[in-house]
Amino acid sequence: MKTIGLGEAASLIPDGASVMIGGFMGVGTPERVIDELVRRGTGNLTVIANDTAMPGVGIGKLIRAGLVRRAIVSHIGLNPETQQQMIAGKTDVELVPQGTLIERIRAGGFGLGGVLTATGVGTVVEKGKATITLDGKTYLVERPLRADFALVSAFAADYLGNLQYALTARNFNPVIAMAADVVIVDAEHIVPTGVIAPDHVMTPAPLVDYLVAH
């Protein structure tokens, strides 16, 4: 794990990168990193996240700045700007059931070739997907998702990179931290090694590549 400045962290991410971003309606999203991406105008991004939050909040800032070429998310209901960009053909939106989305990301991080789920069978979600019938029940074969970068928001990080999340800001964060080539963490608190007890570590240090300095 390396500690770097905010600008340096954002500069690691090139135009066209795929980026997993933590957060649920903006709660648990690394706002500082998002702001810096907007400032730099890093564009043509593929964003994998639960949602695009609200206009001007969290991932909604990337949407508003027109930086998102493709979004793989479970809903965009609270962000009409995403809906407008989708209809205008500026942003491709792939809608994935939330439980399937997080399980596909987990599969990407946990080295699985995919998972079988009944969610989406017989709906539009099935389109273009392999199905498998086992013991008389039909499942979709859902493939792993990975990204170039994971942008993780943590409550606390220790000097080694061990992470702790708080309350419902946990959501996608520990899962995306497993599923990207480069993991960048913005933590609200940076604490000395040992301050987070082993049983309370939610993302072990070796998963973290960069911690944004305070």
Partner 1 sequence: MDASTIIARRIAQELRDGMLVNLGIGIPTLVANYVPAGLHVFFQSENGLIGTGPVPEEGMRQARLTDAGGRVVTALPGAATFDSATSFGLIRGGHVDMTVLGGLEVDVTGRLANWTIPGKMVPGMGGAMDLVSGARRVVVAMQHTAKGKSKIVSQCRLPLTSVRPVDLVVTELAVIAFPNGRATLLEVAPGVQVADVLAATEAPLIVRDDVHPMPLGSEVPA
In the complex, the residues that contact a copy of itself under the rule CB under 8 A are 103, 107, 110-118, 130, 132, 134, 137, 139, 141, 143, 164-167, 170, 198-200
**Footprint of partner 1 on 22-81 (CB under 8 A):** 24-28, 50-51, 54, 73-78
19 vs 179, beta carbon nearer partner 1: 179
Closest CB 196 distance from partner 1, rounded Å: 8
Q: Which does 184 bind (CB under 5 to 8 A by kind): partner 1, a copy of itself, none?
A: none
What CA–CA distances, in Å, run from 147 to 19, 106, 158? Answer: 6, 12, 25
Q: Which amino acid is at 208?
A: V
Q: How far is the CB of 144 from a copy of itself (least distance, A)?
A: 9
Task: Decide whether 172 or 210 has the Cβ nearer to a copy of itself.
Answer: 172
Structure tokens that stand for 133 in this block: 């019938």
x-marked contacts with partner 1 along 89-118 as a string, rule CB under 8 A = ----x-x-xxxx-xx--x-xxxxx----xx
Rg of the chain's alpha carbons, rounded to an integer?
Answer: 17
CA distance 157 to 88: 41
Burial of residue 57 (number of CB atoms within 10 Å: 0-12, 13-18, 19+):
buried
Nearest to 62 by CA among 10, 105, 106, 4: 10
